[in-house]
Structure 1
């Protein structure tokens, strides 16, 4: 019996007026030259939420030119760390003031729960403040050990114009993992948000103007990957592309950027394992697993979408996860009680269905869920919390991103087998291990090929700690002091301090 916890539509009425989004280019809000627009309807309510200018070649080239001029003029690139930090802190304060407005439009465009959205906006403000602190700590090195005649300097300079292409699942949070670090480094930027969730980035542009960011330092172009993302990835006046999204698109960006050899930073997909040993706290593990797979409806690169559990406790743990999953409130994302909202699009819903159907055909057992949820009062798309047992390593559901609230359960007998299963994926974004034995946890942390490893917890995050993956999960890191390094170039300056230089040609 699939008895789930549903939150019906609340009394919250939607506005009759859609949010109107325009491009921000050289400090001015612009419609598209051809007047083209695109609409976004709520995946949870079905109503029209936003109408945005649809960027084309003209708008993209204008934004790149504005960012290039702003960088080459040098006013921002050579501004003091104190000045940049002051502005970034001002943006953080404005984000806090606008938290409810930002959260609401993000809920309506993405389908995520309002309580989660508020927390993400609060976390984004913290990232802006952390980046502000880094703006005052950038420094190079000096080398006075090169002999009496020479002094060497290593300068850290902004890389230039950074293009940022951001996804639909955490639109405000992820742009805040990129843009403040680029600005703190002295770069200028062109930002392209997902066409599914463009509006909170537009609001961020409003806050940047209010905070006093100079014209052209940050530009925003709304629209689709083709042509906007394609031009950003190939244009010679763009010095760097930072992209978060699917591994497939990331590979295409690398190929497109090769023509100009621009730097590429990628945060891509994950098929993240949690390994559970028989001595683990199974109640704590079950709760974290339930959170990890259902958070953001599973539409998360860090989703804990596969567990690798010891055979001795596999059934007990699975039963606990199933029981907890039935209690997770799915439904109206505008209700404070809701923990899981809607699926982003019809196409994505079909993809989730496909993975579960194919796993069943291959012999796996769906022990919970596996179908669509009907939420009273809502004209949206919701997928049931789903647990699939009897999964084997060769199944697609065990190897590929489902990006939905679907958990795959695999089992192991020996530690070596568990390590092999955990590393048996093209991805390497994050991983987890559950054991009361610190030696077991440390062994796994060192042997798992992943950018982040959690022990006896899942998906905690801090502005101070870097985030990114290995293998096909990406290139480079965001957050932490390493996050600002992505936007800096090293320059060596060699200074002869002695008055004379020995002649090479005898005179």
Structure 2
């Protein structure tokens, strides 16, 4: 298979890349030591962005600004309705510039433009949901402690939050964190991936236009070692919210432990779709194709394992292969594209190595298995690997590419065991018309989300996060704002104190 990608189709090929600065204390700024970064579009091989990269000195400036805005600024003291108004205005501005934001994510991450538009629409919806939670965050009162005592439990913003986001959903994932922190009254320092920073910087513009006070949200660009590590370990940061690999997540938790910061971790996944013989097979086939190849498989929720009953495995895979042939790999800016480019050449090589190792271990590559010649950028053919055994690396580790591993089972207990035979516990899917089967599997597997007769749906109202090595804590849902708060107890005594410890 060969693609024909035209690098000249990008405006940046003629006009040159746009340069993006950092946002610190309400001002656009370059880094203190003059570091620079560049991003070459993974779908076209054209330089599309230049960034002013930061260093530890810029993290210091950003954290200082966020701390000052928290203690001296109006944001934490504002009425919830006033904070909500800023979040709602931000959502409106996101909608108004949806096409621009989607294009930035498409050219920097390689995702299809149609998909990117949907993500930006979903992000605006999350900002609106966070605004509603700003007005419902509340504490408790206890008038049952006796007539002389009243207990009040307050929820107060936790303080300064470091938010670190990945490259695979640049705008959507920051929307799963930042608006909830702001709704609670926190201030923030945000570091997007150095590969896909532009849309987050644009978000900074929208926040300022929406009326967010200076210093409340600071955006520092750069690499993990130069910027992220200092954001995690900084003693004036009260909480870290991180999305990325489990390996980096473990290092982040360890660094945050030095100052006992609160941490929220959304990490890797090796998610399975379990298909029983009584399932709606056409629907399950479509969901399996979607789960495996959506976002090029560069998704923590990807359905990268198909666990299918032996009685239907051959027919299911034949139907899967027929449907997968209709998946269009191509230019991220082409409206017809279903699967775009792979984020970097090094990551493409890593995906190919997973497939090669599985083949050497005795698995069978039924379709795809390698990169696609394109003339520009890097692309991977949708791949299916069958005959996978639970002990194989490809069955246990996150590939993060358009690769489906197929395992078979005979009994329900065996299917549950196969789901559980990884270190991850982010999500799973189960396909069966039998309610006992569906509920039994859903309640038995240790994953943060289980989809029944569907896959990878998402709503702001529903919590998202993982068990085991897939993370700590939850994002979204009605408790999302509470995650960015601390509880304070105040006890009021009325009347004379009679319970003297030392007698008068």
Shorter-chain TM-score category? over 0.9
- Match in the other structure for 1:187: 186
Cα RMSD of the aligned pairs, angstroms, is: 1.2
The answer (yes or no) to whether the contact 1:10–1:332 under 8 Å persists in 2 is: no
Residue 273 of structure 2 corresponds to residue 279 of structure 1: no
Cα distance in 2 for residues equivalent to 1:439 and 1:9: 53
SS at match of 2:212: coil
SS at match of 2:33: coil
Q: Which structure 2 segments of 5+ residues have no match?
A: none
How many residues are treated as equivalent by the alignment? 502
- Match in the other structure for 1:224: 223
Deviation at 1:78, TM superposition (A): 1.6
Deviations 1:281-321 (A, max 9, x none): 11110100000110000000000000111000011111111
Cα distance in 1 for residues equivalent to 2:353 and 2:7: 31
- Residues 14-413 of structure 1 correspond to what in structure 2 (within 5 A)? 14-15=11-12, 16-73=15-72, 75-375=74-374, 378-413=375-410
- Match in the other structure for 1:482: 479
* Range 167-176 or range 476-485, more displaced: 476-485
Deviation at 1:13, TM superposition (A): 3.5
- Give the TM-score normalised by structure 1: 0.97
Deviation at 1:106, TM superposition (A): 0.9
The answer (yes or no) to whether the contact 2:139–2:155 under 8 Å persists in 1 is: yes
- Match in the other structure for 1:424: 421
Deviations 1:255-283 (A, max 9, x none): 10111000010000000011100111111
Deviation at 1:471, TM superposition (A): 0.3
Cα distance in 1 for residues equivalent to 2:217 and 2:151: 34
* Range 176-185 or range 69-78, more displaced: 69-78
Cα distance in 1 for residues equivalent to 2:502 and 2:433: 72
Residue 467 of structure 2 corresponds to residue 467 of structure 1: no
Deviation at 1:184, TM superposition (A): 0.1
Cα distance in 2 for residues equivalent to 1:336 and 1:501: 77
Deviation at 1:9, TM superposition (A): 4.7
Cα distance in 1 for residues equivalent to 2:220 and 2:311: 54
The answer (yes or no) to whether the contact 2:87–2:131 under 8 Å persists in 1 is: yes
Residue 445 of structure 2 corresponds to residue 448 of structure 1: yes
Residue 458 of structure 2 corresponds to residue 438 of structure 1: no
Residues 323 and 193 of structure 1, relative CA distance in 2, 3 Å threshold: same
Cα distance in 2 for residues equivalent to 1:312 and 1:82: 57
- Give the TM-score normalised by structure 2: 0.98
The answer (yes or no) to whether the contact 1:144–1:150 under 8 Å persists in 2 is: yes
Deviations 1:106-146 (A, max 9, x none): 11100000000000000000000000000000100101111
Deviation at 1:7, TM superposition (A): 7.7
The answer (yes or no) to whether the contact 1:148–1:498 under 8 Å persists in 2 is: no
